[in-house]
Amino acid sequence: MYLTQSGNAIYDKKWNIISDWIAPDYELTRSMAQASAQKYANEKGIAPRDCSKMSTTN
């Protein structure tokens, strides 16, 4: 859903709906996030970990 804002004063703002809900593209955004995380880990020398193997107790 896209919203626009109207009003001039700080406390006189109104949001107007200008479209219907837009479904997210999880395949695209997930792959972008994973690629960015991998690049960062490589640059910083961080080894990825498998969180599914981590203990839930402290």
Q: How does DSSP classify residue 33?
A: H
pLDDT of residue 3: 53
pLDDT of residue 33: 94
pLDDT of residue 11: 56
Q: Which residues contact 38 (CB under 8 A, 6 or more apart)?
A: 48
pLDDT tens digits for the chain (58 residues)?
445 555 554 555 677 788 888 898 999 999 999 999 999 999 999 998 888 887 776 5
The pTM of the full predicted model, rounded to 2 decimals, is 0.51
